[in-house]
Amino acid sequence: MREFDYARADSPRQAVSTHGESEQAAYLAGGTTLLDLVKIDIMRPDQVVDINRLDLNEIETLDDGRTRIGALVTNTALARHDRIKNEYAVLSEALLSGATTQLRNKATTAGNVMQRVRCPYFRDGVSSCNKREPGSGCAAIEGHNRSVHAVLGTSEHCIATHPSDMCVAMAAIGATVAVEGPDGQREIDFLDFHLLPGDAPEREHALKPGELITHVTLDAPLENSRSRYLKLRDRASYQFALASSAVIVTLDGDTITEARVALGGVGTKPWRAHEAEAALKGQKATEATFQKAAEIAMQGATPYAHNAFKIPLGQQAIVRNLTTLTAQEDRRTS
């Protein structure tokens, strides 16, 4: 058994002070990732700071139309919130497609943002893994790399997919992550928060040592928009995505006037497909338009021995989502 110090914080400032800048300290909220990885001896914190007493449980509508979500808002509370269901349907659907009801009741917004990869070579504790032991190599590249390994954003050092459904929806919506740390408060654009593996896959996010996520603020919903999350997986529930798409569109008749597209299950981070969005804007909502955008979204993909199918599957996730979304008159958001 490994020993660690445990403390409860009553304020973000106290939490940050207690945590310090040690890379071996950890914040504890729902614990659905931390406790899991501690049990299998992958994470070994020497200091655990319990933040569950912090007043970070609110979902607020700001004066500029944005929505601010406290770090401790559970996935269930967020998915079921009336404003999220009505104005950010893509986010509610993404949350409800992930995990079990019991896990969603415990998992928090900040914890989901910080969710770690499901690569079995990372989690087995013995295989070569640059995330777990920098410089040791990546066993997945030459090993079994079918379901939880990426084709976009990979490097010779890591090919693990980012597992979160929620984060894919947030990438499409647009958001900022508010943090508090030893140097004070700051905000990080959501698209800059998760890092590509590059040559340092052990660095998964843009947090500085000791920083604590306090809120995630969603951009104001697009007026008269439609949004939807589509998740393709091996079984119908309780499974990570092989490929997924979060799509938001606005239409003028049958012409797409605005589009946002993000992908999950295929990238090493929540993958915003800016070039595909540009290909959709101003175009007729037809299968040919959707297919062209889908092909653009998957440009630059690198297939591995067992996951080449993710390239056409990722395209399908976009085409099917757009086809359904643009055909449904009842998905408009005012």
pLDDT tens column, 288-313: 999 999 999 999 999 999 999 999 99
Which stretch of DSSP H or E encloses residue 89?
A: helix 89-96
- Average model confidence (pLDDT) across the chain: 96
Q: Kindly state the DSSP code that residue 47 receives in the 8-state scheme.
A: E
Give the percent of the chain with pLDDT over 70.
98
In this structure, how many other beta carbons lie within 10 angstroms of the beta carbon of residue 287?
A: 10
Q: For residue 275, give the nearest of 241, 300, 250, 240 by alpha carbon.
A: 300
Q: How far apart are CA 40 and CA 124, in angstroms?
A: 8
- Residue 199 inside a domain? The answer is no
The residue range of the domain holding 266 is 225-333
d(C-alpha 200, C-alpha 131), whole Å: 8
The count of domains in the chain is 1
Q: How confident is the model at residue 77 (pLDDT cuts 50, 70, 90)?
A: very high
pLDDT category of residue 236 using cuts at 50, 70 and 90 = confident
Is residue 92 domain-resident? Answer: no
pLDDT at 332: 45
Provide the percentage of residues in the chain whose pLDDT is more than 90.
96
Q: How far is CA 66 from CA 36, 224, 227, 259, in A?
A: 33, 16, 17, 18
CATH number, domain with residue 319:
3.30.390.50
Of 264, 261, 222, 220, residue with least CA distance to 240: 264
**Residue pair 301/311 in contact by the 8 Å Cβ criterion:** yes
Q: Is residue 43 part of a domain?
A: no
Distance of alpha carbon 233 from alpha carbon 243, whole angstroms: 7
Residue 242 lies in a domain: yes
Residue 184's SS3 state is strand
pLDDT, tens digit, 9 for 90 and up, residues 252-272? 999 999 999 999 999 999 999
pLDDT digits (tens, 9 = 90+) for 245-256: 999 999 999 999
Grade residue 238 by pLDDT with cuts at 50, 70 and 90.
confident
Band the pLDDT of 331: cuts 50, 70, 90.
very low
Asked if residue 187 is part of any domain, the answer here is: no
Would you say residue 231 lies in a domain? yes
In this structure, is residue 2 part of a structural domain? no
- Which of 212, 37, 187 is closest to 123 using CA atoms? 37
Of the candidates 69, 115, 118, the one whose C-alpha atom is nearest the C-alpha of residue 92 is 69
Residue 159 has pLDDT above 90, yes or no: yes
Residue 334 in this model has a pLDDT that exceeds 50: no
Kindly report the pTM of this predicted structure: 0.96
pLDDT at residue 333 is higher than 70:
no
What's the whole-number mean pLDDT along residues 222-229? 97
Which pLDDT band holds residue 324 (cuts at 50, 70, 90)? very high
User: Does residue 296 sit within a domain?
Assistant: yes
Q: Could you read off the pLDDT of 102-154 as tens digits, one per residue?
A: 999 999 999 999 999 999 999 999 999 999 999 999 999 999 999 999 999 99
Q: Provide φ and ψ at 28, rounded to 5°.
A: -115, 120
**What whole-number distance in Å separates Cα of residue 273 and Cα of residue 260?**
8
pLDDT at 70: 98
pLDDT at 237: 85
- Any residues with CB less than 8 A from the CB of 36 and at least 6 apart, and which? none
Predicted pLDDT of residue 329: 60
